[in-house]
Each structure stands twice: as structure tokens, then as C-alpha cells.
């Protein structure tokens, strides 16, 4: 009864003597204590029911632990050992120098291949920038190799190198062209050919022009293909005098007689007024081929127009030479 | 002296040529020397001699038959591969038990999240055919109870209990295997017993002990 009350009130655990016994109980059960210690613990256990109960539990537990038990492993233990040993002794594939180098090389090839593919796809997704500029020999579409940073629809000045070659002008008269503003095809993405020379179109007219460029519509709403088809030469016989107006497919051709002082012949200058831009810069002239008969007289002028070239201007001839 | 097969022998340090252990009069030392000279059968002899001891230590700590077989075989693989680094003058059994303890504790810790006790494992052992069936059943119940309680004891206390009660090692031998002082080994063993008793009471109650299973 007293022990029950002690337990309920927690005095057993808080009793210093009981606590000391608890701390040495396993050694007592094992017989590891000295004789005086052993005698003291035994005396307390005889007088304390709780410690006696604890001692009984400890003996049961230790007795269970100390019960004879010898387990025998399965007969395949050596087989397992042998298999694990063989596995641990087997050479790894990466431990062989040749395979290690082969693996490294394969990884390198893979990386280079993937990188090349990525770069190729990146540039393949870019469409080249083109500008449609008049050609001194013929209407043509040529890439703007200088304007790689242009956006759609922007204009850039070109170099004033569009002098008409003397062989195209009779009597050595030159027609000077002002520096031009060239429209960029609006629907063409901002990409330079220079970044991918393989995609540069053939600059010869009518040869090798990629079909996507031929079908791009510019500000005039015409495609390059349509322009080429519509820029067929207009021929006029001048033997009966110079006509005043000749209708081209996309505008009106006006003729002017021009004579440079000292020059042996009079030159006929033809300008083209584009229907799309009839005023201002709409006056354009692309090319004239002047022919002469056997007497050296002006016989034929062939005009090739390039419709839609609103920025292609020609300096008007001097009226004094008419 | 406990169940240390090599416990009564100490490797002689008399001769050591190029790391080889020449142990006159020491059975284990002779076997090691033969093995290091290329005699595989010497290792097989060591394996046959120690496999039961190692298996009992490992099983006591990991508590699962299949895991114990795996870990035991891994212990012998490690012994096989590192026997050349075994220091002359050390006791081979101590070295072997230390490796077994470390491997088993690592394995037990890696599977500590498993709270269930593989009760069927204990019944999976091979009984001693010399015992009658009643003895076998009674001892089997004891084994189950011990292992069940032992698996509830923290791993850091499980090893000293296994060495003390499964292998009957003395405090001095436990201190040598675990790598601590004798006093520290005593303290560890005492705490381990207290833990075991607490878990024993927790599992089977205060009366009749494991007979309540």
C-alpha cells in the first residue's frame, strides 16, 4: 500500500536512494559491482518494492538477452559473398583508358553536334533583308548588303554611285542621279545576308532569286516578279521626231531633247512618271538606250521603265539644250 | 573470454616483409599470410571460421535475415579487399567485428525508417537438429522476443548489447571492438541495458515478460 502511494505520488523516482539503485541496477544484475556496492543495493531492494520490481524486470530483460541463441546463416552465404566479390572486382567500363577516351570523344562530338544544330536553326529562322533597287543595266532586285540593321519599312540612303555609265548615254552626256532613298521591302524581316552568305541570292537578274523574295510585296503593292514582268522595254521610233508622251505599263514617259555644248549629237532624255506617285519624287527614270541610224541620226530610243521606284529620280535636262 | 575465435591468439609481430604478416603460432596470422601470398583457400578457411559470428552480430543489429546475409557477405568482401592493410599486432577478430559492427549499424540506420519488425525473419533461421521441437519452439520465441525488443533500442546502444550478449565479449573486448575506453564501454552498456529493459516493459508489460507474446 505504501509502495502504491509512493508510486502515485512519484516519490519512488524522486527518492535519491531509489534513483541511485536504478542507475546501478544493470551492473548489479550482471554482477559487475564490488561486494560492498552489491550488498548495499541488495539491502535496498529487499526493503523497496518498486526497486524490487525494477530489479525483477531487469533480470528478465537481461536474462532474455543472455539466452543462448546462435543463428546459423544460410548455406548460400558464401555464394552471395563470391558474387559480391566478383562484382566488386569487375573492372568498370570507365576504368579502361581506351573506353574512357572513347566516352569523352563521344560526349565531345555530341556537344559539338548539338551546338551546330542550334546555331544553324537559329540563323535559318532569320529571313534575309532585301531592298529593291534599280539596276543600272536592268530593273533588278538586289540585296541590301549594307543595311543589315534596318527595320521593316525604313529607308536608308545609298551611296551616290548610281551614275549612268557613259556607254548608255549618247554623246557622252551624263545623267546624274541624286543619292537615293531606297525603300525596304516591308514584309521582309530585319536580317542581313552578310550573316549567312550561303543565302545570298544570285545577283544576276532572273537567276537564282529565291522565290520568297520574288513574291514579297513592297509599298506599291507589287511583287518583284510582277515588276520584272511589267518592266519590259518600250521602243519608240524617233525617225519621225521625238514623241511627246508615250504610255508605259505603269506610267508615262516624257522625252526631252538635250544637247551638251560641244557635243556632236543631241541626246534624248526620257523620264518616267509613275502612276503610283505622279508628283514630286514620282518622276523616275531608269534607263534609256539611244540608237542611231547609219547617218548618225537619232533613230530609236528604247526605254525600260521600272515602275514603283518613287525615289529614283533623274536630274531634269537643261532646257537650253533642247 | 567470449566467443572470439581468435580471441586467445594475437598476431605475432615478429616478421613483416613488404607488408606481409608473418605470424608464428597464430592461426589467423598464418591464414592471412597465406592469403596475401595468393592462397585463396586460406581466406575460405577464415570465412568458414568467422561467418557464424559475423552473421550473429549483423543480424542482431539489422534484425532482418535477408539484410543480415547481404551485410555479412559485404563484410567479408571488405575483409577480402583490405586484408593487405590489416595491421600486424592487431587481433584479427577484433578488426573483423569492428567492420561488421560498422557495416551493420550503417545498414540499420539506412533502413531505420522501417518501423515494422520482420517477425517472419526470426522463424526463418535454421534450427539446431539436436534439439527437440519443444526446445526449438521455446528458443524461437525467445529469439523473436529479443530481436523485437532489440530493434526498438537505438542503434548506438544495439551494438554493445549484441557484442555483450550475442558474442559474450567482455567489457575490455567490447571497448576494443567499439574503439572506446573501458569506462566508456561500461557506461554505454549500462545505458543500453536500461533502454532494452524500458522497451521490454513497453512491449510485453511488467508481468511475465515475453511470455505475453
Return d(Cα B117, Cα B4) in angstroms, integer: 29
**Do residues A42 and A95 share a domain?**
no
A218-262 pLDDT, tens digit per residue, is 777 777 667 666 655 566 666 666 666 667 666 666 666 666 666
A186-230 pLDDT, tens digit per residue, is 444 443 333 443 443 444 444 444 456 677 777 777 776 676 666
Mean pLDDT across A111-118: 90
**Do residues A87 and A224 share a domain?**
no
What pLDDT sits at residue A34?
86
In chain A the first and final C-alpha atoms are separated, in Å, by 146
- Domain assignment of residue A261, yes or no: yes
- Torsions phi, psi for A4 (to 5 deg): -65, -45
> Is the CB of residue B196 less than 8 Å away from at least one CB of chain A?
yes
A134-182 pLDDT, tens digit per residue, is 444 443 333 333 433 333 433 333 333 433 333 433 343 333 434 334 4
In chain B the first and final C-alpha atoms are separated, in Å, by 34
Question: CATH number of the domain that B112 lies in?
Answer: 1.10.1740.10
Return d(Cα A257, Cα A272) in angstroms, integer: 15
- Domain assignment of residue A110, yes or no: yes
**Do residues A41 and A185 share a domain?**
no
**Do residues A150 and A285 share a domain?**
yes
Interface test with B, best of A3, A53, A62, A69 (most B CBs within 10 A): A69
Q: What cell was used for B193?
A: 541495458
Stretch 102-161 of chain B: residues touching chain A, C-beta under 8 Å: 125-126, 128, 139, 142-143, 145-146, 149, 161
**Do residues A140 and A283 share a domain?**
yes
User: Could you give the angle at the alpha carbon of B24 between the alpha carbons of B18 and B29, nearest 5°?
Assistant: 65
Does residue A282 sit in helix, strand or coil? helix
Tell me how crowded residue A2 is: count the other CB atoms within 10 A of its CB.
Answer: 8
- Domain assignment of residue B5, yes or no: no
Return d(Cα A35, Cα A21) in angstroms, integer: 15
- Whether A270 has a pLDDT exceeding 70, the answer reads no
- Domain assignment of residue A32, yes or no: yes
Q: Residue B186: which domain range? A: 15-212
**Do residues A14 and A99 share a domain?**
no
- Whether A286 has a pLDDT exceeding 60, the answer reads no
* Contact: B161, A77; criterion CB under 8 Å: no
What pLDDT sits at residue A293?
57
Q: What cell was used for A273?
A: 512618271
- Torsions phi, psi for A272 (to 5 deg): -120, 125
Interface test with B, best of A52, A56, A73, A82 (most B CBs within 10 A): A73
**Do residues A198 and A104 share a domain?**
no
Angle between helical axes of B40-62 and B92-110 (0-180°, round to 10)? 40
A72-84 pLDDT, tens digit per residue, is 888 788 888 988 8
* Contact: B47, A78; criterion CB under 8 Å: yes
Alpha-carbon gap: A101 to the closest alpha carbon of chain B (Å): 28
Return d(Cα B60, Cα B158) in angstroms, integer: 8
Return d(Cα A179, Cα A313) in angstroms, integer: 9
Return d(Cα A261, Cα B129) in angstroms, integer: 137
Q: Residue A33: which domain range? A: 2-66
Percentage of residues of chain A with pLDDT beyond 90: 2
**Do residues A165 and A292 share a domain?**
yes
Say what the ipTM of the complex is: 0.71
Alpha-carbon gap: B14 to the closest alpha carbon of chain A (Å): 31
- Domain assignment of residue A169, yes or no: yes
- DSSP class of residue A312 equals -
What pLDDT sits at residue A266?
61
- Whether A69 has a pLDDT exceeding 70, the answer reads no
CA-CA-CA-CA torsion for A225, A226, A227, A230, nearest 10 degrees?
A: 130
- Whether A29 has a pLDDT exceeding 80, the answer reads yes
Q: What cell was used for A267?
A: 541626246
Q: Is the dihedral of CA B35, B40, B44, B47 positive or negative?
A: positive
Does residue B213 sit in helix, strand or coil? coil
Q: Which of A58-62, A314-318, B184-188 has the lowest mean pLDDT?
A: A314-318
What pLDDT sits at residue B79?
93
What pLDDT sits at residue A273?
67
From chain B, pick out residues whose CB is under 8 angstroms from the CB of A58.
Answer: 193, 197
Helix (H) or strand (E) holding A298: strand A298-304
What pLDDT sits at residue A220?
72
Q: What cell was used for A278?
A: 505622279
- Domain assignment of residue A179, yes or no: yes
Distances (CA, A) of B21 to A127, A145, B26: 79, 83, 10
Which regions in chain B score pLDDT beneath 70?
1-25, 111-140, 206-213
Does residue A300 sit in helix, strand or coil? strand
- Torsions phi, psi for A160 (to 5 deg): -75, 65
Alpha-carbon gap: A40 to the closest alpha carbon of chain B (Å): 19
What pLDDT sits at residue B203?
81
Which residue from B79, B68, B91, B71 is spatially nearest to B43, judged by alpha carbons?
Answer: B79
**Do residues A167 and A211 share a domain?**
yes
- Tell me the average pLDDT of chain A: 62
**Do residues A237 and A155 share a domain?**
yes
Q: How many domains does chain B have?
A: 1
**Do residues A191 and A283 share a domain?**
yes
What pLDDT sits at residue A297?
59
> How does residue A319 score in pLDDT terms, banded at 50, 70 and 90?
very low
Interface test with B, best of A24, A64, A66, A75 (most B CBs within 10 A): A64
Return d(Cα B213, Cα B210) in angstroms, integer: 6
What pLDDT sits at residue B165?
86
DSSP calls for A159-189: PS--PPPGGGSGGG-----PPPEEEBPTTS-
Within chain B, where are the H helices? 27-36, 40-62, 65-82, 92-110, 119-122, 133-150, 155-161, 171-178, 182-204
- Whether A267 has a pLDDT exceeding 90, the answer reads no
- Domain assignment of residue A71, yes or no: no
**Do residues A193 and A112 share a domain?**
no
Q: How many domains does chain A have?
A: 3
Amino acid at each position: 500500500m505504501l509502495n502504491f502511494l509512493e508510486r502515485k505520488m512519484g516519490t519512488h523516482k524522486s527518492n535519491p536512494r531509489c534513483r541511485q539503485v536504478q542507475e546501478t541496477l544493470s551492473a548489479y544484475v550482471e554482477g559487475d559491482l564490488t561486494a560492498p556496492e552489491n550488498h548495499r543495493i541488495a539491502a535496498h531492494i529487499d526493503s523497496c518494492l518498486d526497486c524490487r520490481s525494477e530489479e525483477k524486470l531487469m533480470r528478465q530483460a537481461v536474462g532474455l538477452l543472455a539466452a543462448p541463441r546462435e543463428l546459423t546463416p544460410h548455406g548460400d552465404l558464401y555464394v552471395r559473398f563470391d558474387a559480391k566479390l566478383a562484382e566488386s572486382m569487375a573492372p568498370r567500363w570507365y576504368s579502361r583508358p581506351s573506353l574512357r577516351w572513347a566516352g569523352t570523344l563521344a560526349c565531345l562530338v555530341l556537344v559539338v553536334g548539338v551546338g551546330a544544330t542550334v546555331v544553324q536553326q537559329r540563323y535559318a529562322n532569320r529571313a534575309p533583308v532585301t531592298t529593291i533597287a534599280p539596276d543600272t543595266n536592268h530593273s533588278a532586285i538586289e540585296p541590301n548588303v549594307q543595311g543589315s540593321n534596318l527595320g521593316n519599312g525604313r529607308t536608308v540612303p545609298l551611296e551616290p554611285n548610281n551614275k549612268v555609265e557613259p556607254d548608255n548615254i549618247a554623246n557622252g552626256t551624263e545623267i546624274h542621279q541624286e543619292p537615293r532613298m531606297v525603300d525596304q521591302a516591308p514584309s521582309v524581316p530585319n536580317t542581313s545576308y552578310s550573316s549567312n552568305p550561303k543565302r545570298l541570292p544570285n545577283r544576276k537578274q532572273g537567276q537564282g532569286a529565291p522565290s520568297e523574295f520574288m513574291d514579297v510585296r513592297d509599298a506599291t503593292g507589287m511583287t518583284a516578279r510582277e515588276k520584272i514582268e511589267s518592266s519590259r522595254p518600250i521602243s519608240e521610233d524617233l525617225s519621225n521626231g521625238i514623241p511627246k508622251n508615250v504610255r508605259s505599263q505603269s506610267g508615262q514617259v516624257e522625252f526631252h531633247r538635250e544637247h551638251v555644248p560641244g557635243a556632236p549629237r543631241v541626246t534624248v532624255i526620257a523620264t518616267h512618271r509613275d502612276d503610283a506617285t505622279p508628283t514630286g519624287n514620282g518622276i523616275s527614270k531608269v534607263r534609256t538606250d539611244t540608237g542611231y541610224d547609219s547617218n548618225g541620226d537619232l533613230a530609236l530610243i528604247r526605254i525600260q521603265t521600272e515602275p514603283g521606284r518613287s525615289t529614283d529620280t533623274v536630274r531634269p535636262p537643261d532646257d537650253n539644250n533642247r | 573470454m567470449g566467443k572470439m575465435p581468435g580471441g586467445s591468439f594475437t598476431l605475432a609481430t615478429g616478421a613483416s616483409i613488404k607488408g606481409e604478416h608473418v605470424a608464428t603460432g597464430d592461426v589467423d596470422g598464418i591464414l592471412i599470410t597465406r592469403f596475401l601470398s595468393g592462397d585463396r583457400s586460406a581466406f575460405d578457411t577464415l570465412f568458414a571460421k568467422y561467418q557464424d559470428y559475423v552473421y550473429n552480430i549483423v543480424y542482431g543489429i539489422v534484425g532482418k535475415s535477408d539484410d543480415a546475409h547481404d551485410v555479412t557477405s559485404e563484410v567479408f568482401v571488405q575483409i577480402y579487399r583490405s586484408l593487405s592493410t590489416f595491421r600486424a599486432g592487431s587481433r584479427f577478430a577484433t578488426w573483423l567485428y569492428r567492420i561488421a559492427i560498422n557495416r551493420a549499424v550503417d545498414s540499420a540506420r539506412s533502413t531505420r525508417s522501417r518501423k515494422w519488425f520482420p517477425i517472419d525473419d526470426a522463424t526463418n533461421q535454421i534450427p539446431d537438429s539436436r534439439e527437440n521441437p519443444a526446445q526449438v519452439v521455446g528458443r524461437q520465441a525467445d529469439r523473436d522476443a529479443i530481436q523485437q525488443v532489440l530493434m526498438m533500442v537505438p542503434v548506438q546502444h544495439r551494438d554493445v548489447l549484441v557484442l555483450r550478449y550475442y558474442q559474450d565479449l567482455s567489457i575490455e573486448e567490447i571497448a576494443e571492438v567499439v574503439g572506446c575506453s573501458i569506462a566508456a564501454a561500461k557506461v554505454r552498456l549500462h545505458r543500453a541495458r536500461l533502454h532494452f529493459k524500458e522497451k521490454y516493459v513497453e512491449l510485453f508489460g511488467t508481468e511475465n515478460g515475453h511470455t505475453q507474446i
